[in-house]
């Protein structure tokens, strides 16, 4: 393009200012991408939740258990296809920093309900046969370098005295859903039940129900809660996605927080870049007037200013996204499983670049319109 | 033939009739030009002189289509420009007017070559054709060897030469010079005026120039004085002006 030389020459007029402005874009884009990835990590559970699954917890809260006897009663409700129960284990592997979710699972029904988790049949059979057996997600196994046959010690202080539970890694599961969770550690509920104090025995942390038909979710959920109303352990039944969303909300309104921070970042960027472009245009008033005098149209002057701010946004945006591509896996592994896996998707990258260009265009628009409306006679008189 | 009586019937290149320009400042109407008439033929070189605020630059701006008159008409090569839209005027300027400013007004981040090339970016010329035109224009002003220099690497006189090359590169109908030597020392001013003389004498360019310098004005075919918004025919020969006989 024959005007590119003019655009780039003007762009590089003040190199320090250009570098700082591009740097602002790059940092803002990195922050945006990181926040979007964190938000995605929190909401992924909701997005990937089975539409045909319900979660039943104690109405008081997730920390309270439910009697195991509820299993048969729930199973008897029409529309319920499978029922499985889980219990939170809460052990520590080597160091408290090495957090990962550990569940005592019901080996008879777990696979029928949680169908997205794939364990090879031979590994599952070994797990079922081995009372001290365990299954780990592929991501978790990779994180700690575990392989089948490894002995995994988990220290647990939640149930009576502090003691170390030993497990044999019999299987590794993969998640069928792209971006799905592969960070869990499963042990047998029976082994768990035999080794916990009497107060915890024959209880479930929560039930997960697979329905015949997702359309029955509301009816079945109401039926379960009605069934156990006025009992010592009333229930709260909700769809798996609602459960996941409420679980995420326990950490605070992450989405609101992220949106607020993101908006502030972009608004600040808009002001910074808009100011930079305004100064840059003001410095060139006479030159713009000369361009208009020799025949450049108002629109072409607007185009030059917009093109400059868009090029800044594009370069800064690409740098910021590149930084995010490099840094997010490092940050993700440094978090040691404290957050769900941080996945940088193409849609987040595209959205980031789109936002950068939008801010670029918006920041160049006002100075550009000012340049467009510049009266040559007045501008030249000021020289 | 340059005339200011408005009675020329010939098809002048530039024909100005009853030109008025009034500014409103603080609620007060200031009449800068009053019923001004002017006829300039192709190849004429006319200088405008007058005290500050007499309307010289205003007249130049009107002739160059940078401003619009309050009344009257300006016709250039058969086109009446006074009623053109702003957009049409912009295109007209690109085709018909070459501007030479006192402060040169080059783009500092572009080389001499790139500055001269600017008006050609608005044409459909190919890159190689543009290069040819730019080299020719820089050759005319004697700066072929400085084409890759930036304005900051040139002297004032050289910068003004680049401005002249930029003004002539698209072969406009006429050139407007606003104090072309106002920022130069005498030697550089003489060189620039010699170049302008050459544009008129050798290349038959039509030039309208505003100046405060009577020695510079003396090189024009005719010097016209603006006084209270009216053009007055002044000294006609260089000898009279050089002898201090400027009217």
Angle in degrees, 0-180, between the axes of helices A254-283 and A346-373, rounded to the nearest 10: 30
Per-residue confidence (pLDDT) for residue B233, from 0 to 100? 76
> DSSP letter string over B129-170?
HHHHHHHHHHHHTT-GGGTT--GGGS-HHHHHHHHHHHHHTT
| Cα gap A231→A368, rounded to integer Å | 70
> Any idea what the Cα angle at residue B120 is, between residues B114 and B122, rounded to 5°?
120
Per-residue confidence (pLDDT) for residue A99, from 0 to 100? 86
Q: Searching chain B, which residue's CA lies closest to the CA of residue A295?
A: B94
Start-to-end CA distance of chain A, whole Å, equals 30
Given a cut of 70, the residues of chain B with pLDDT beneath it are: 8-10, 234-247
pLDDT in tens, A236-294: 999 888 887 777 666 667 778 888 888 898 889 899 899 999 999 999 998 999 999 99
ipTM: 0.88
Please answer yes or no on whether A2 and B67 come within 8 Å at the CB atom: no
Give the mean model confidence (pLDDT) for residues A194-200.
Answer: 88
**Domains in chain B, CATH or no CATH each:** 42-68+84-239 (3.40.50.300)
Mutation pick from A280, A290, A374 vs chain B, by most beta carbons of B within 10 Å, is A290
pLDDT in tens, A338-356: 666 788 889 889 999 999 9
Per-residue confidence (pLDDT) for residue A248, from 0 to 100? 67
Cα dist from A266 to A34, A270, B97, whole Å:
14, 6, 45
Q: Output the six-digit token pair for A256.
A: 């609101």
Q: Which residue has the higher pLDDT, A299 or B24?
A: A299
Please answer yes or no on whether A294 and B87 come within 8 Å at the CB atom: no
In this structure, what is the dihedral angle of CA atoms A214, A219, A221, A223, given to the nearest 10 degrees? Answer: -140
B14-25 vs B71-76, strand pairing mode? antiparallel
The minimal CB distance from A294 to the residues B87, B94, B108 is found for B94
Helical (H) or strand (E) element with B202: none
8 Å CB contact between B12 and B186: no
- Which residues lie below 8 Å from residue A213, measured CB to CB, with a gap of 6+? A52, A79
Per-residue confidence (pLDDT) for residue B239, from 0 to 100? 41
- Which residues lie below 8 Å from residue A57, measured CB to CB, with a gap of 6+? A66, A205, A206, A235, A236, A243
**Residues from chain B contacting residue A295 (CB–CB below 8 Å):** 90-91, 93-95, 119, 122
Q: Which residues pair with B31 in a beta bridge?
A: B22
Per-residue confidence (pLDDT) for residue B236, from 0 to 100? 43
Per-residue confidence (pLDDT) for residue A337, from 0 to 100? 61
pLDDT in tens, A112-135: 999 999 999 999 999 999 999 999
Task: Say whether pLDDT at A320 is over 60.
Answer: yes
**Residues from chain A contacting residue B107 (CB–CB below 8 Å):** 6, 9, 287, 290
Closest C-alpha to A361, from A316, A298, A313, A319: A313
Per-residue confidence (pLDDT) for residue B223, from 0 to 100? 92
Closest C-alpha to B94, from B115, B72, B119: B119
Per-residue confidence (pLDDT) for residue B45, from 0 to 100? 95
8 Å CB contact between A210 and A112: yes
Q: Searching chain B, which residue's CA lies closest to the CA of residue A379?
A: B66
What is the distance in angstroms between the Cα of B211 and the nearest Cα belonging to chain A? 16
At A332, the pLDDT band (50, 70, 90 cuts) reads: confident
Helical (H) or strand (E) element with A257: helix A254-283
- Which residues lie below 8 Å from residue B192, measured CB to CB, with a gap of 6+? B157, B160, B161, B164, B180, B181, B184
Domain coordinates in residue numbering, chain A: 4-43+253-381, 65-232
Q: Output the six-digit token pair for A113.
A: 């309900």
> DSSP letter string over B35-78?
EEEEEE-TT-EEEEE--TTSSHHHHHHHHTTSS--SEEEEEETT
Per-residue confidence (pLDDT) for residue A300, from 0 to 100? 93
| Cα gap A150→A140, rounded to integer Å | 13
- What backbone torsions phi and psi does residue B241 show, to the nearest 5 degrees? -65, -45
Q: In whole numbers, what is the pLDDT of chain A averaged over residues? A: 89
Per-residue confidence (pLDDT) for residue A181, from 0 to 100? 85
8 Å CB contact between A67 and A207: no
| Cα gap A217→A206, rounded to integer Å | 17
| Cα gap A126→A130, rounded to integer Å | 6
Give the mean model confidence (pLDDT) for residues A181-191.
Answer: 93
Count of Cβ atoms closer than 10 Å to residue B7 Cβ: 8
Per-residue confidence (pLDDT) for residue B241, from 0 to 100? 32
pTM over 0.90: no
Q: Output the six-digit token pair for A61.
A: 């809260």
At A46, the pLDDT band (50, 70, 90 cuts) reads: low
Measured in residues, chain B has a length of: 247
| Cα gap B142→A316, rounded to integer Å | 43
Percent of chain A topping pLDDT 70: 94
Per-residue confidence (pLDDT) for residue B197, from 0 to 100? 93
| Cα gap B113→A303, rounded to integer Å | 23
Asked if B152 has any chain A CB less than 8 Å from its own CB, the reply is no
Q: Which residue has the higher pLDDT, A371 or B234?
A: A371
Per-residue confidence (pLDDT) for residue B43, from 0 to 100? 94
Please answer yes or no on whether B90 and A296 come within 8 Å at the CB atom: yes
Asked if B61 has any chain A CB less than 8 Å from its own CB, the reply is yes
Q: Which residues of A touch B (CB under 8 A)?
A: 2-3, 5-6, 9-10, 12-13, 286-287, 289-298, 376-377, 380-381, 383
Give the mean model confidence (pLDDT) for residues A51-62.
Answer: 90
Please answer yes or no on whether A290 and B93 come within 8 Å at the CB atom: no
Closest C-alpha to B204, from B33, B48, B43: B43
* Coil, helix or strand at residue A207: strand
Q: Which residues pair with A83 in a beta bridge?
A: A209
> Any idea what the Cα angle at residue A65 is, between residues A60 and A69, rounded to 5°?
120
**Residues from chain B contacting residue A377 (CB–CB below 8 Å):** 61, 66-67
| Cα gap B170→A302, rounded to integer Å | 24
* Coil, helix or strand at residue A360: helix
Q: Output the six-digit token pair for A241.
A: 């996605």
């Amino acid at each position: 393009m024959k005007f590119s030389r003019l655009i780039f020459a003007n762009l590089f007029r003040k190199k320090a200012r250009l570098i700082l402005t591009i740097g602002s874009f790059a940092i803002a884009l990195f922050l945006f991408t990181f926040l979007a990835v964190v938000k995605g990590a929190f909401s992924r559970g909701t997005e990937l939740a089975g539409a045909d699954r319900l979660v039943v917890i104690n109405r008081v809260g997730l920390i309270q258990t439910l009697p195991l006897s509820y299993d048969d009663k729930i199973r008897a409700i029409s529309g319920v296809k499978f029922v499985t129960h889980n219990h939170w284990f809460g052990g520590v592997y080597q160091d408290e920093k090495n957090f990962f979710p550990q569940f005592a699972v019901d080996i008879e029904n777990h696979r029928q309900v949680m169908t997205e988790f794939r364990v090879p049949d031979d590994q599952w059979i070994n797990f079922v046969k081995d009372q001290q057996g365990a299954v780990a997600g592929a991501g978790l196994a990779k994180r700690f370098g575990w392989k089948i046959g490894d002995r995994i010690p988990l220290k647990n202080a939640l149930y009576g005295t502090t003691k170390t539970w030993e497990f044999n890694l019999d299987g590794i599961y993969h998640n069928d859903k792209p971006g799905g969770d592969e960070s869990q550690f499963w042990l047998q509920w029976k082994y768990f039940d035999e080794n916990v104090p009497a107060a915890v025995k024959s209880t479930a942390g929560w039930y997960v129900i697979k329905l015949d038909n997702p359309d029955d979710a509301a009816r079945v959920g109401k039926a379960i809660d009605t069934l156990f109303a006025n009992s010592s352990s009333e229930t709260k039944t909700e769809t798996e996605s609602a459960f996941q969303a409420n679980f995420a909300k326990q950490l605070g309104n992450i989405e609101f927080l992220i949106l607020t921070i993101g908006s502030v970042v972009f608004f600040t960027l808009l002001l910074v870049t808009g100011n930079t472009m305004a100064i840059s245009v003001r410095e060139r008033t006479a030159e713009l007037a000369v361009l208009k005098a020799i025949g450049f149209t108002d629109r072409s002057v607007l185009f030059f200013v917009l093109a400059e701010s868009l090029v800044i946004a594009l370069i800064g945006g690409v740098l910021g996204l590149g930084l995010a591509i490099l840094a997010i896996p490092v940050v993700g592994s440094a978090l040691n499983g404290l957050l769900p896996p941080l996945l940088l998707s193409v849609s987040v990258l595209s959205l980031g670049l789109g936002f950068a260009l939008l801010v670029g265009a918006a920041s160049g628009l006002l100075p550009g319109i000012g340049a467009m409306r510049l009266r040559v006679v007045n501008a030249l008189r000021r020289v | 033939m340059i005339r200011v009586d408005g009675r020329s019937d010939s098809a002048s290149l530039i024909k100005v009739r009853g030109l008025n320009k009034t500014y409103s400042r603080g609620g007060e109407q200031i009449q800068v030009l009053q019923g001004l008439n002017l006829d300039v033929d192709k190849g004429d070189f006319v200088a405008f002189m007058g005290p500050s605020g007499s309307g010289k630059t205003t007249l130049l701006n009107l002739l160059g289509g940078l401003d619009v008159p309050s009344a009257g008409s300006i016709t250039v090569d058969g086109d009446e420009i006074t009623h053109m839209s702003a957009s049409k005027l912009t295109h007209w300027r690109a085709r018909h007017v070459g501007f030479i400013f006192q402060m040169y007004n080059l783009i500092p981040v572009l080389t001499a070559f790139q500055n001269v090339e600017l008006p050609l970016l608005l044409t459909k010329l190919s890159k190689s054709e543009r290069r040819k035109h730019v080299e020719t224009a820089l050759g005319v002003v004697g700066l072929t060897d400085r084409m890759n220099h930036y304005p900051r690497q040139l002297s004032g006189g050289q910068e003004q030469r680049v401005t002249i090359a930029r003004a002539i590169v698209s072969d406009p109908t006429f050139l407007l010079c606003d104090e072309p030597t106002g920022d130069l020392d005498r030697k550089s001013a003489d060189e620039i005026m010699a170049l302008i003389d050459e544009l008129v004498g050798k290349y038959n360019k039509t030039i309208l120039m505003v100046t405060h310098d009577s020695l510079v004005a003396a090189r024009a075919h005719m010097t016209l004085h603006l006084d209270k918004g009216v053009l007055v025919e002044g000294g006609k020969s260089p000898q009279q002006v050089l002898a201090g006989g400027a009217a």
